[in-house]
Amino acid sequence: YCFRCSSQLREVQFEQGKAYRVDNWVICAACAPDALLALPAASSKKLLELMSGVREKKTSVPSQRKTGAALPAIRDSSRANLTVTGSSTSTPSVPKKPRNPWILVGAIGAAIVVLLILVLMNRTSPPAADVGGAPPSPPPPVVARPSAPTESPALAALKKAALYEKENPSDLDGQIREYSDLTLLGDRGEAGAEARRKVDALRARDNETVKQGMDALQKEIDGLRTPEQLREALKIVEAAKTRLASTSWKLAVEKLASETRRRIVDAMKPVVAAPPPPPPPPPPAARSAEGKSYDARWEKSIARATARDYAGAAAELKKDLAALKDEDLRREAAQDVADLEELGRVYQSTLAAAAAARSLDLKAASGRVLSVDADRVELFSDPKQPTAFVEWMDVRAESLVPLLKMQATDPRLPALFAILDGDVDAARGTDGIAPKYWALKATPPRAAPEEAVARELYYMAERDWRSMETRARSVEAYKALRTKHKDTSVVKRNQPRIDRRAESGKEYFFLTPDFRYAGTFAPYKEERLESIADSDPAQANRNWAEWDYDPLPGATYRCWVLVGGCCAETFAFSYQATGLTELNPKTKKKVAADPGGDAAVEARPAVKGLKPTHPKTEPKKPARWEWVELPLPKVGAPGARRVRVLTDQRGFAISTVVVSATRTKPPGEAELAELARLRALDATPGWAIDRAGRSPRILIEDFEQEAKSWAYVGGWEFKGAVGSFSTDLATGHDSKGSGRMLGDFSGGGAYIGVWKDLSPLARRDFKEIRFWVKSPTVTGLGVRLADASDQVHQRHVPIPPSPDWQEVVLKPTAIAGGEHWGGANDGAWHGPIKGLGLNIGKGSFTGGAAKGELWIDDVEGLLDPDSDK
């Protein structure tokens, strides 16, 4: 933004000479003449040189821009060699009429005149002429003296504040006031950054001084209880107001004085005698024989409830309900059954809610939720450690009761859960619970040693299943569970899953979420991977999609891929596979065509009715889908095998892969539906797929609770903007909750936004920050990243306006190099990251609108895997 008129500037304006960067100042062309007088002398000189150079260039070089000229090559980490070009035809442009050079001469002359005026104004008056005598000598020639360089208002304010600090070292309020000058706080350069650091340090020093003083004052009045003693304490507190000159000290002492006055009033109130204790309740009536029989059955059934088998306990009590004759006993039994059945429902609802949560703190373990079932939850907390499995039976009432209260409509049920879990203290204060529950000595069962061994083996098998590199070890673990630990509860409750995986390996079925990919390949929802750009055929091995399978020893496998295209040119692709070879056309020798190598086997599907090439006037897209078989080499050594598909064509797509040792042809529609059903039972979850360049993800914010750590920034240095930032619990990306940012520039202003301090994170060496946004009107975000040196980097990131959620990926090294201030102030990135800011500018809305809103959700950081090396 221009530092004078606050108008938003684009990079193209700097390239066209419509805006200038001078030191830490950004100026638009309209404000540049006025800025010559406002900037320091050195900066004014640089600005004048920029203005002169740009104008000379424009008058001497006519425009040679070609209509539809080639665009520059697009380069990033995954598409390093893609070049998008337009039409090669050119239309000669009409040379622009050179501007009048006298304009520049006039501007320079005006500047010289201003300097001469300043010199004349600063000259002292000449002495009075001597009357009589020789005629006066002619005055010396006027020589223009260079004016003293002027400093920026911010730097002047900073020096003034530093002088005040030196002269008044004990006046912290005055120092904070001087460094909080609006000129300093609105400055984006080094002066503003230094002032903000000073204010923070002074406030911290003031807070610490006040804290130490209040601690000492509190010790002086501790132990004073009676009204007379408290009056003496009040005198001490009132006298302490002058100990420090700080305003915060006076406020803290006044608060303590108010509390002391209240204590005096309370101490003078008459003591009311406690009411006599109520008479003890009458002893319970003797239990009938039928009641004693029911009590025995209840105690036997409730043992199942202490193991959280509430449905089983309710079913046992329900068997004998009809046989009870005593009416009161029948009502008691019916209530017991209803409570247990409802508690079972609430418990299952609580587990379902935990499955939808992004993170959990279960005392025994905490972290991001990866998977949940009726028996256990899997959590991710440390990228360097394996995931943690926590059995729900090992999670005690103190962690689950708060979750149960969110699901239960009857307040007795969470208390009943705590009692049955052996935590009576967590249930105290709850009315309506029968005395027999309070007297219950519940002891949750502990896992037997054999059960604990079986659990650990099951956890290992689950983790190893997710990678083909360890799939064989996982299968052996499932087989061991089935044979050596078949009597344990973990095997009995997961028998179908263990049996299915122990017999796996004969056939593999992959859909779009299962693929790894790079280059021009990009996912289209979850339907397909599609190449979104043409590329140089010599660099097709940079655009790939791949999958792994673990073959059984001695088995022969066949592979079919479902690919899409629109013409013979688009359908043509090549592939690589572990152990595959290809004949080199030059040397006539076989060379390895392994994934990642230079050689590949060409695949030209025999698809009838295709045009040989694609019409230039039509977009390339996968309009037709065909199964294509890829011959695989014979299985040699044991271990995972990999297949990779390569393309240089836009519009080529892949959606489904079948690798089978039993099939002789690709599956039909009914078989595909059954394969998809089975895949859903055992597919590797998306978060566990080791994609190219994948890094462990750290959840920064999911907005499922009130996001108090996000600070609203109102762009206060440019008055007029109105905005807000809040948590919208009714809207979310894939769960409840998101951050909602509102901006209204009808009354002026330049931007509003939010700021997230990331310094509390244990690890923040992120190579990427990813988040999801949704807005039908916002066209771009102003992104600010603070690095380890406190330097702030800023760039504009365009986003397509859409009512749907879309992901935004920020790479700190790509954000750096643009506008920057504070810290090292060199434009280079100095990791790790310390802060993230997201802004909406006044020109960020569609149709020239002055206001709009934007939602943010699921903010994550991708750790740099090389940061520990």
Residue 52 lies in a domain: yes
Does the residue 72 lie in any domain? no
Q: Would the pLDDT of 652 be above 90? A: yes
Report if residue 255 sits inside a domain.
Answer: yes
- Residue 54 pLDDT > 50, yes or no? no
- Sign of the alpha-carbon dihedral angle for 379, 381, 384, 388: negative
The verdict on residue 245 lying in a domain is: yes
Would you state the pLDDT for residue 633? 92
- Tell me the residue type at 370: L
Do you find a cis peptide bond into 595, omega within 30 degrees of 0?
no
Residues 537 and 617 placed together within one structural domain of the fold = yes
Cβ-proximal residues to 383 (8 Å cutoff; 6+ apart), any chain:
696, 763, 863
Residue 355 pLDDT class (50, 70, 90 cuts) = confident
154, with CB counted inside 10 A (0-12, 13-18, 19+), is buried
Give how many domains the chain has, as a whole number.
6
Q: How wide is the angle at C-alpha 174 spanned by C-alphas 172 and 175, nearest 5°?
A: 65
The pLDDT score that the predictor gives to residue 158 is 83
Q: 778: which DSSP letter?
A: B
pLDDT at 704 exceeding the cut of 90: no
Would the pLDDT of 77 be above 50? no
Note the pLDDT of residue 144.
Answer: 43
Domain that holds residue 14: 1-64
pLDDT digits (tens, 9 = 90+) for 293-312: 988 999 899 988 988 899 99
Placement of tokens 């959606």 in the chain? 655
How much is the pLDDT for 80?
Answer: 35
Region 474-498: mean pLDDT is: 93
Q: What is the predicted pLDDT for the residue at 310?
A: 92
**Measured in whole angstroms, how far is the alpha carbon of residue 550 from the centre of its chain?**
35
Q: Judge if 550 and 614 occupy the same domain.
A: yes
Nearest to 727 by CA among 569, 855, 563: 855
- Which residue in 403, 307, 308 sits closest to 360, CA to CA? 403
753 and 814 in a common domain: yes
Which of 657, 688, 719 marks a domain boundary? 688
What's the mean pLDDT in 367-383? 81
Q: What is the pLDDT of residue 143?
A: 43
- Read off the pLDDT band of 729 (50, 70, 90): confident
344 domain-assigned:
yes
The gap from C-alpha 412 to its chain's centroid, in whole angstroms, comes to 39
pLDDT tens-digit readout, 311-322: 999 999 988 788
pLDDT value at 487 more than 90: yes
Taken in order 178, 184, 190, 191, is the CA torsion positive or negative?
negative
- Give the pLDDT confidence score for residue 836 in this predicted structure: 96
Mean local confidence (pLDDT), 195-218:
87
Whether residue 674 sits in one domain with residue 625 = yes
Instruction: Determine how β-strand 573-577 pairs with β-strand 641-646.
Output: antiparallel
Query: For the domain that residue 642 is a member of, what is the CATH number?
Result: 2.60.120.260
Band of the pLDDT at 156, cuts 50, 70, 90?
A: confident
The string of pLDDT tens digits covering residues 536-592 is: 888 888 899 999 999 998 899 999 999 999 888 899 899 999 999 988 888 888 999
Closest CA to 787 of 745, 759, 760, 763: 759
Tell me the one-letter amino acid at 709. Answer: S
Neighbours of 661 (CB within 10 A): 17
pLDDT at 669 over 80: yes
**CA-based max dimension of the chain:** 146
Same domain, 317 and 393: yes
Q: Which residue has the higher pLDDT, 518 or 63?
A: 518
Average pLDDT of the segment spanning 379-384: 78
pLDDT at 639: 87
Residue at which a domain ends, from 64, 79, 99: 64
pLDDT band at 58 (very low <50, low <70, confident <90, very high): very low
Residues 727 and 801 in one domain: yes
Asked if residues 515 and 529 have their Cβ atoms less than 8 Å apart, the reply is yes
d(CA 393, CA 408): 20
The answer on 713 and 827 residing in a single domain is yes
In a domain, 117, yes or no: no
Q: How many C-beta atoms lie closer than 10 Å to residue 315's C-beta?
A: 15
Question: Do 757 and 842 belong to one domain?
Answer: yes
Residue 38 vs residue 587, higher pLDDT: 587
- The verdict on residue 276 lying in a domain is no
Are 739 and 835 in the same domain? yes
Helices and strands counted in the chain (H then E): 23, 31
For 494-530, b/e burial (b = at least 16 CB within 10 A) is beebbeebbebbebbbbbbebbbbbbbbeeeeeebbb
Say if residues 201 and 172 touch (Cβ distance below 8 Å).
Answer: no
What is the reported pLDDT for 68? 38
Note whether residue 801 is domain-resident: yes
- The CA distance from 319 to 337, in Å, is 10
> Whole-prediction pTM value?
0.50
Strand partners, 774: 855
Of the candidates 713, 742, 703, which has an alpha carbon nearest to the alpha carbon of residue 836? 713
pLDDT digits (tens, 9 = 90+) for 616-635: 778 888 989 999 999 999 88
pLDDT, position 818: 87
How do residues 437-477 score in pLDDT, each as one tens digit? 888 887 777 778 899 999 999 999 999 998 888 999 999 99
Judgement on whether residues 673 and 701 belong to the same structural domain of the protein: no
Last residue of a domain, one of 464, 483, 502: 502
Per DSSP, the residues of 50-100 read HHHHHHHHHHHS---PPTTPPPPPB--SS-TTB---------PPPPPPPPP
Q: Residues 403-408: what's their mean pLDDT?
A: 88
Provide the pLDDT for residue 621.
87
- pLDDT-derived band of residue 62, with 50, 70 and 90 as boundaries? very low
Q: Which of 96-100, 312-316, 386-390, 638-642 has the lowest mean pLDDT?
A: 96-100
For residues 758-770, give the mean pLDDT.
Answer: 87
Instruction: Look up residue 208 and give its two tokens.
Output: 């610490």
Of 69-78, 481-490, 508-517, 812-821, give the lowest mean pLDDT range: 69-78
Regarding whether 836 and 701 lie in a shared domain, the answer is yes
Reading the block at residue 549, the tokens are: 């399978």
685-694 contacts, C-beta under 8 A, 24 or more apart: 685/370, 685/371, 685/466, 686/513, 687/370, 687/380, 688/370, 688/466, 688/467, 689/513, 689/514, 689/516, 690/467, 690/516, 691/516, 691/517, 692/78, 692/516, 692/517, 692/518, 693/77, 693/78, 693/518, 694/862
Is residue 566 located within the same domain as residue 461?
Answer: no
